[in-house]
Chain A
Amino acid sequence: MQPFTHITGVAAPLLKDDINTDQIAPIMHSRSLKEDYKAMLFHRARRRDDGSEDPGFVLNKPQFRTAAILVTGHNFGAGSSRESAVWSMLANDIRVIVAKSFADIYRENCLQNGVLPVVLSPQDADVFIARVVAADGTAPFTVDLMTQSISGPGGPDIAFDMPAAERTRLIEGLDDIELTLKHMDEITGFERRAADAQPWLQRTTDSRR
């Protein structure tokens, strides 16, 4: 996994609650195993009915085309568990999402891919949003996971919380499977005990065969 330490870039405000994964990464009508995740991101919201780009959509505005930070409302990433909703962020070099809250599965998918999900307290979120709106893409913000702070135009640094273990995993770019494989002895030990205690769970037999 790509490590995350800090990033400096434009912050784009997408100030809605409950933005769901059907909006972030719609299931495309025709598709292949190798999807164009860059084009997938907010595919419908970015376009007008005739297929042309909607200049009103925030990520289409010239100042936000290279945004590295997405700023949004509550329950971001609700809906489907599709990881393409995070891959499409990465494909557009968006490495940080600052939200008032995240849907559970979406947040997990961010952590798996080195995308930093930042939740600010309600007061800090409102202050930060006001600064992002005021900056309007003219000056970058820096999100630093080492110091757990956001700095940029319009005011003092804003601190954010991140559980220590998740912070380490992101900073070091640790492979999640590697972390668990260290516990393989415990897993096989569990399986031996479970085979005695609840044998019907440690085997699958089609009784018709």
Chain B
Amino acid sequence: MPQTLFDQIWDSHRVGARSDGRDLLYIDRHVLHELHAHHAFAQMERQGRPVHRPDLTFAVQDHTVATKPGRDDTTNPSGTAFIVAMREGCHKNGIRLFDVDDPEQGISHVVAPELGIVLPGATHAVPDSHASTVGGVGALAFGCGTSELAHILATQVMALKRPKRMRVRLDGRLDAHVNAKDVALKLIAELGVAGARGHVVEYAGAAVAAMPIEQRMTLCNLNIEMGGRSGFVAPDDATFAWLAGRPFAPQGALWERALAHWRTLHSDDDAAFERETTLDCTALEPQITWGTDPSQVVGISGRVPEPDAIEPARRAAAQSAFAYMGIAPGTPLAGLPVDRVFIGSCTNSRLPDLQTAAAVVRGRRVAPGVVAMVVPGSSRVKREAEAAGLDRVFRDAGFFWGESGCSMCAGGNGDRGQPGERCVSTTNRNFENRQGPKVRTHLASPATAAASAIAGRIADVRQLLAGAT
């Protein structure tokens, strides 16, 4: 019977079924972060339960770490207790921790694939909703809560109801200065913030095949913003080339054996999906959010929609977003003055994201009055960017160049905007108050964010580079 790749991975990881009908899905790689780990460690200790597979478990300090150069445990005082508790829990339980000062520290979703910890066809869990970022290398990843985190520590399985299958076909070819972020925002706009609820999404099609692995990760990262249970791209030669030689990837004969298996990881031609949708990416322009949820999106040449143009069920939410964002219907997005720009987060903080932004910034200056930040997704990305001189490009232009972490994505480390500020951000959520009380977040690609920092206004990167103002 024809199978989807999702079924192939699920069935090969299904340990059995529990009495309540849930499948027990084996988790090959479990990665913790400090914001939630301490609850689970405390629970395990209270219940006297050991960690079943510390060797398959990793931990990263990312949500609360300061980004200030020379940072330590106490640079962000509200993170100290979390960082210390995580360190103690990992030590006690024999879990490999990428600590604040570790050369491999970074955002879990960036670190796990770049070290080759997560692999094609592997199952992966993180107590964070953006776990499916690693779907970009063909892994099946689930975000989970704290109780589930403890459950995985104790048993190395998740007890799940089998999700439904969905395929999103991305056809056509992306124009210059348009990338996976723009595609994902367009998709969320089309499908809505609950459009993929209950489904695992396989992203396929010519536009996906042409995407570098980092962009596939951006695409899969934003899967949760349309409610998807998980999302991935079937691995291909580009994936294998990207993973080869990474520290935790198999080496030598084992690599060859793994590679032979990975080449079997694809959906059969006539496999059935409960839902299928297609988006033609040809002529797609850079996208940006205007409102307070990630489906409130327009093209960079577009305007804030008129209430009449919004479906009735979404109108009240739009009205509330107009007020919060301080923008009236009909206002063009391009040209809105910007106070702050943030380039980073698990969505857009990998080396190619920074290269794209640097190419826009090079030889230009951040507009007066704009606070602009670049926070690499991992300490490794930071080193590689510095080796390529990107830090100089950003610094010379007036950007802050930080130590890696989640930073302003959710502001858990104290990096936040001021009330009323308008911020163009490469992150994943434009929810009210997320980047600081009353901060007005516009989600966009690294290229759009960089162009907006230079222009001091929301800008079309294509016009900026063409010399128009």
| Chain A positions near chain B (C-beta within 8 angstroms) | 16-18, 20, 22-23, 26-27, 29-33, 44, 74-75, 78-83, 86, 101, 103-105, 108-109, 112-113, 163, 165-166, 168-169, 176-177, 179-184, 186-187, 190-191, 194, 198-208
Contacts and interface: CB of A to CB of B under 8 A. Distances in A.
A22 B129 contact: no
Contact of B16 (A177, A181, A183): A183
Contact of B429 (A26, A44, A79, A200): A79
Interface string B110-137: 0000000101011000011100000000
Interface in B161-214: 163, 193-194, 197-198
A105 B143 contact: yes
B193 A112 contact: no
B362 interface: no
Contacts of A109: 145, 147-148
B129 A105 contact: yes
Interface of B: 15-16, 18-22, 24, 26, 28-29, 35-36, 38-39, 47, 49, 52, 55-56, 58, 77-78, 81-82, 85, 96, 117, 119, 121-122, 127-129, 143-148, 150-151, 154-157, 159, 163, 193-194, 197-198, 227, 229, 247-251, 254, 257-258, 261, 293, 313, 316-317, 410-412, 414, 416, 429, 431-434, 437
B34 to A, nearest CB: 10
A166 B160 CA distance: 12
Q: Which 8 A-B pairs have the closest CB atoms?
A: A165-B20, A112-B147, A200-B250, A83-B145, A109-B145, A75-B194, A83-B146, A22-B431
A82 to B, nearest CB: 7
Contacts of B248: 204-207
A104 B198 contact: yes
B229 A104 contact: yes
Contacts of B147: 83, 109, 112-113, 176
A20 B292 CA distance: 11
Given A81-B144, A86-B145, A168-B20, 4 more contacts: A109-B148, A198-B261, A200-B250, A203-B55
17 contacts: A17-B317, A20-B431, A22-B410, A22-B434, A44-B432, A78-B194, A78-B227, A83-B147, A109-B147, A165-B21, A165-B22, A179-B18, A179-B20, A183-B18, A183-B24, A199-B254, A207-B247
A29 B78 contact: yes
A131 to B, nearest CB: 21
B193 A75 contact: yes
A204 B19 contact: no
A33 B81 contact: yes
A26 B433 contact: yes
B155 A80 contact: no
A17 B58 CA distance: 36
Contacts of B16: 183, 186
Listed residue (A108, A169, A177, A202) with the most chain B CB atoms within 10 angstroms of its CB: A177
Contacts of A26: 433
B15 A186 contact: yes
Contacts of A27: 410-412
